[in-house]
Amino acid sequence: MKRSDRQLGMHRDITRRDFLNGINVAVTGSLLSTPLAQALAATDGDPSAQMLAGYYPPTRDGLRGSHPGSFEVAHRMRDGERFDDPRDSIETGEDYDLIVVGGGISGLAAAWFFRKEAGPDARILIVENHDDFGGHAKRNEFHIDGRMLVDLGGTEYIEAPWSYPAAAKSLLDDLGIDVSQARKVFDHELYPSLGLRGGIFFDKKTFGANRLVAGNPDLQQGEQQTAYVTLPAELEYGIGDRDAVTAFLRQTPLSAATQEKIIELFCGDREYLANYSTEEKLNFLQSISYIEFLTDIAGASQEVADFFWMWRGSYMGNGVDLTPAVAAMRYGLPGEAGLKLDLMARRSPEWQKHSYKEDFHFPDGNASVARMLVRAMIPRVAPGNSMHDIISAKFDYSQLDQDDSPVRLRLNSTVVHARHVGDPDNAKQVEVTYVQDGQSRRVRAGFCVMACYNSVIPHLCPEIPADQRKALRQSLREPLVSTNVLFRNWTAFQKIGIFAAYCPGSFFSDIRLTYPLQFGDYQSARTPAEPITVKMYRIPVSGKGHAADQFREGRHELLGTTFETFERNIREQLGTMLAEGGFDPARDIRAITVNRWPHGYALGYNHEKNEMSYYRSEDWTDADRHWLKGRQRFGRIAIANSDADARAMTEAAIEQGYRATRELLGES
């Protein structure tokens, strides 16, 4: 072993799950070893494991998200292998009212709305290819020193709940999620009260020196500043204070010219588009990326572009080479001062009335929404009935798929085919084939909701007309990695004075301490001596070329990166960044969970115009919005999931689940 590996702690005893030549490998036991973890290790790789006592995927660490074993069958199908020959599959004789393909928020919501309308006796089967339910809304759970800590594996929070559309709002109400308690459960004062603020980490390879620069603790945090806006306050929304921006930049390794350009962008009054009307400016800035604005319009250097490239990357899911300039400025990237666009004031009065502090956070993110949905539909799976007890509620996965339960959730099962039994116009049933443990099985239902990814549906349903299949294939999802690292304490963060850092140029672009939350008897860490989870995001895009190509390459990179590579990068980056705080990666890291999301944020993508936008282009016609065509009901099959709304939001996933069931039941 290399000396540097030893210093990093690569030899330390943490669970490392990896994927080598098609074999799921668990290397070494865990320091956090519990009877549960041992039971899991014993069942590793066995897809019927969900029925065994002790099966509890949230405590699995290593490579999670799209974990080894979840995607291989689907990829073989993508590559041309067919699984639809009935002679190869077992006829189970199971017959349902509804089969839902995909156990993410959209699929769970579809089952919920169907049951609400069809009644509690409606028989529903949800089929999911991962070892856990929730889709992106996944829970990571750690146990250390007799204490449980949870964090979000993917979906973060209920954003702007006041703006939720009717069906999504009704679902939250029915589940008892009281979003008005947002400020009560999230302690926005904790980190500022300890003198912690956002910072920026400059790496040697990109900026010539490794340096962490913390923001000024004396700057007013304000209503918009929260523990998830991780940048230094002086570079945040609306601060625009030349002295403060200058003082921050003087501490950085950036060249003098770069510093001056950044000051100009934040505080200058240079008119970049002098001959344009406001409308023309907005249209033009929608048609170019933020990087194009920087380099072509503002005359910025490559170093300036490097500095801003991943600004809010974990939120946007891409580099700002792919974000329209106007959208980037709406999310706080500088430039609008000179352009005199006053974008904040242009937001709707509703948006201006509300604060980020109204966003509602569960400690495991919207995994709690998924868990509450599952508990409400299959009550035997977990005790309790409130949003406060859901965090500590023990889930018994062996109860998810029981014959005598009207709702069943089948994990580790990839759907490979769905077809009408007879002519789609008159058929009374849909037959669904799934592969579990290498064996195809057939089940039937009166209706089917596809709550998976749009791009996989043409493979599953070759019956769907060719133009609709083409539209479905146009849906793109952005790849990203959301990692949780368990620290034995966070004194290094306290000594340095940060709770978060933006790291342009580094392997992980965003790093932050967990959100400070309290739910019932669950309490996240409050003092630096306690263990805590640290969140790290990586957006695997190159910044070069077309969006679709960057995302395809990023997906490829994600699935081809070993856990060891992730681990080494985690240890190196944290070790370098937190060195001055006395952090020792070999000593202080206790567990690592890397959640890969090769099919992450759903986005609006317009092939005809060769444009992408995570934010909708208002000028797109319905014909440009391929997802409207793609999501049309086909016989007894309806299409849900966030791709069907081209929006990577929980409420979009819920609304699409609602729409899909309405389309089916409206026709029955």
Ligand X SMILES: Cc1cc2nc3c(=O)[nH]c(=O)nc-3n(C[C@H](O)[C@H](O)[C@H](O)COP(=O)(O)OP(=O)(O)OC[C@H]3O[C@@H](n4cnc5c(N)ncnc54)[C@H](O)[C@@H]3O)c2cc1C
Q: Which residues bind ligand X (CB under 6 A)?
A: 74, 101-107, 127-130, 135-137, 154-157, 159, 414-415, 451-453, 456, 480, 482, 597, 599-602, 641-642, 648-650, 652-653
| Alpha-carbon gap, residue 366 to 138, rounded angstroms | 7
Whichever of 478 and 588 has its CB closer to ligand X, that residue is: 478
Cβ 160 to ligand X shortest distance, Å: 9
Residue 229 or 480 having the CB closest to ligand X:
480
Over the range 54-75, which residues count as b (16 or more CB within 10 Å of their CB) and which as e?
bbbbbbbbbbbbbbbbbbebbe
Q: How far is the CB of 30 from ligand X (least distance, A)?
A: 24
d(CA 47, CA 64): 15
Min CB(126)–ligand X separation in Å? 9
CB nearer ligand X, residue 75 or residue 204: 75
Amino acid in the structure at residue 385: N
CA angle 450, 456, 461 (to 5 degrees): 65
Of the pair 391, 456, the CB lying nearest ligand X is at: 456
| Nearest residue (CB) to ligand X, 30 versus 436 | 436
Cβ pair 590, 32 in contact under 8 A:
yes
Structure tokens at 610: 């060769």
Backbone angles phi, psi at 158, to 5 degrees: -85, 100
Among residues 455, 434, 418, the alpha carbon closest in space to that of 642 is found at: 455
Question: How many C-beta atoms surround the C-beta of residue 49 within 10 A?
Answer: 21
| Residue 457 beta carbon to ligand X: minimum distance, rounded to whole angstroms | 9
- Cα 230 to Cα 620: distance, rounded to the nearest angstrom: 33
Q: Is the dihedral of CA 285, 287, 291, 293 positive or negative?
A: negative
For ligand X, the closer CB: 318 or 414:
414
At closest approach, how far in Å is the CB of 589 from ligand X? 21
Q: Please, which contacts does 470-474 make with residues 24 or more away whose CB atoms are closer than 8 Å?
A: 471/626, 471/627, 471/629, 471/630, 472/630, 472/639, 474/605, 474/607, 474/626, 474/627, 474/630
Cα–Cα dist 303/309, whole Å: 10
Residue 17 or 211: the one with the smaller Cβ distance to ligand X is 17
Q: Which is nearer to ligand X, 89 or 106 (CB)?
A: 106
- N-term to C-term CA, the chain: 65
Q: What angle, rounded to 10 degrees, do the helices at 650-665 and 105-118 form?
A: 40
| Nearest CB to ligand X, comparing residues 196 and 449 | 449
CB closer to ligand X, 89 vs 482: 482
CB of 314 to ligand X, least distance (A): 8
135, 347 contact by CB (below 8 A): no
Give CA–CA dist 10/283, Å, rounded.
51
Tokens coding 338: 């000179």
User: How many CB atoms are closer than 10 A to CB 385?
Assistant: 15
Question: In the complex with ligand X, which residue's Cβ is closer, 335 or 657?
Answer: 657
* In the complex, minimum distance from the CB of residue 178 to ligand X, in angstroms, rounded to a whole number: 18
**Which residues neighbour 33 within 8 Å (Cβ) at sequence distance 6 or greater?**
none
Dist CA 530 CA 612 (whole Å): 43
Residue 161, φ and ψ in degrees, nearest 5: -60, -25
CB closer to ligand X out of 333 and 367: 367
The nearest distance, CB 66 to ligand X, in angstroms, is 7
Complex with ligand X: residue 213 or 536, whichever CB lies closer:
536
Strand partners, 596: 65, 481
Closest distance between ligand X and the C-beta of residue 83, in Å?
10
| Nearest distance from C-beta of residue 114 to ligand X, angstroms | 15
Catalogue the E-assigned strands of 86-157. 89-101, 124-127, 139-144, 147-152
Q: Which two tokens stand for residue 598?
A: 């090769």
The candidate with the shortest Cα–Cα distance to 481, out of 371, 557, 411, is 557
**Token code pair at residue 202:** 């400059």
CA angle 446, 449, 450 (to 5 degrees): 140
Nearer to ligand X, 157 or 493 (CB): 157
* CA count, 13 A, side-chain hemisphere, 49: 19
- The least CB distance from residue 641 to ligand X, in Å, is 4
Q: Which two tokens stand for residue 347?
A: 């937001």
The nearest distance, CB 328 to ligand X, in angstroms, is 19
Helices (H) and strands (E) in the chain, counts: 27, 24
Q: Whole-number minimum distance, CB 625 to ligand X, in Å?
A: 17
Nearest distance in Å: CB 240, ligand X: 27
Pick 453 or 508: Cβ nearer ligand X: 453
Q: How far apart are CA 397 and CA 624, in angstroms?
A: 43
Cβ nearer to ligand X, comparing 452 with 501: 452
* CA distances (Å), origin 333, targets 305, 598, 629: 12, 26, 34
Residue 369 CB, nearest approach to ligand X (Å): 9
Would you tell me how many other CB atoms lie within 10 Å of the CB of residue 21? Answer: 5
CB of 183 to ligand X, least distance (A): 17
